[in-house]
Structure 1
């Protein structure tokens, strides 16, 4: 919808420019939502937990795995020195521990501790009021269906990188 001068009523409301492919607009919208959600989530983080630190805890718990710093850095698409710093801070907080690999004792794997799981769970719980408000503001949205489609999209894109 445009006004009499052909301008959109809310500049910036569309994710792309007229003529952009719809898939480009969808991915742009996802990126914008991700940035907005990250800032809000970071604001709500309890106990000095950063978004990067939460990301490591969530990643390892979601996979139910222990990984090397290099594997985590690769999965999160950050440089290994940055991930080393993040893991060091999580270790200092007792949220993770480094354990020797069972096949090569020189290799260390990052393992989430019970305190790390509790910190992750507190962070998720802190989002509950905002998520409830979002759900109330979007009646009729099938969030489970959207999650399925977004998961498929993520998995497809992840195989390309």
Structure 2
């Protein structure tokens, strides 16, 4: 890579970061009091990837300390959105299972973001977004694999 391209890549990731902050605020406006975007992200991960994972596996996936994940899971459990059950093969750990209330909250939150998405769709049509999403997914997969290689 040419050193003159570094600002371009910095700007690219900076824009993604700002989009992340703005979309997080949009999402959190739809969540019940006491829940934040990271809590929603855990629910989304459990549905998108799979539930039944251990807190340590989730902490690694989210790149946070296990204590942070344990705290977040405690909040989700308090709200009845996940259930922590003993791991059948390892008595020292637990598995995290999303509850029906957690699935419903995720779906309702996604649905509630509809008006904000509608305003976005007025400016950026589905074809344009549909062209960008696969490239972003490819970039995410690359970064994820590079992280796991460390």
TM-score, structure 1 length as denominator?
0.81
User: What is the aligned counterpart of 2:41 among 55, 58, 62?
Assistant: 55
Aligned to 1:66: 52
Aligned to 2:111: 125
Structure having greater relative contact order (Cα 8 Å, sep ≥ 6): 2
Aligned to 2:12: 26
Is 1:108 paired with 2:94? Answer: yes
When residues 94 and 140 of structure 1 are mapped into structure 2, their CA distance, relative to the original with a 3 A threshold, is closer
Distance 1:39 1:122 in 2: 17
Distance 1:138 1:132 in 2: 10
Q: CA RMSD for the aligned pairs?
A: 1.8
1:35-70 Cα shifts (integer Å, max 9, x gaps): 111122112223543212111101111112321111
5+ long unaligned stretches in structure 1: 1-17
Aligned to 1:148: 134
Count of aligned positions: 144
**Greater alpha carbon shift after TM alignment, 60-69 vs 136-145:** 136-145
Distance 2:125 2:104 in 1: 31
1:141 Cα deviation (Å)? 5.2
Distance 1:110 1:19 in 2: 43
1:109-154 Cα shifts (integer Å, max 9, x gaps): 1100111101111111111100011011224752122110000000
Distance 1:129 1:48 in 2: 23
TM-score, structure 2 length as denominator?
0.87
Going by fraction, where is helix more abundant, 1 or 2?
A: 2
Aligned to 2:30: 44
Structure 1 runs (4+) deviating above 3 angstroms are 18-21
User: What is the aligned counterpart of 1:158 among 140, 144, 150?
Assistant: 144
Distance 2:145 2:5 in 1: 28
5+ long unaligned stretches in structure 2: none
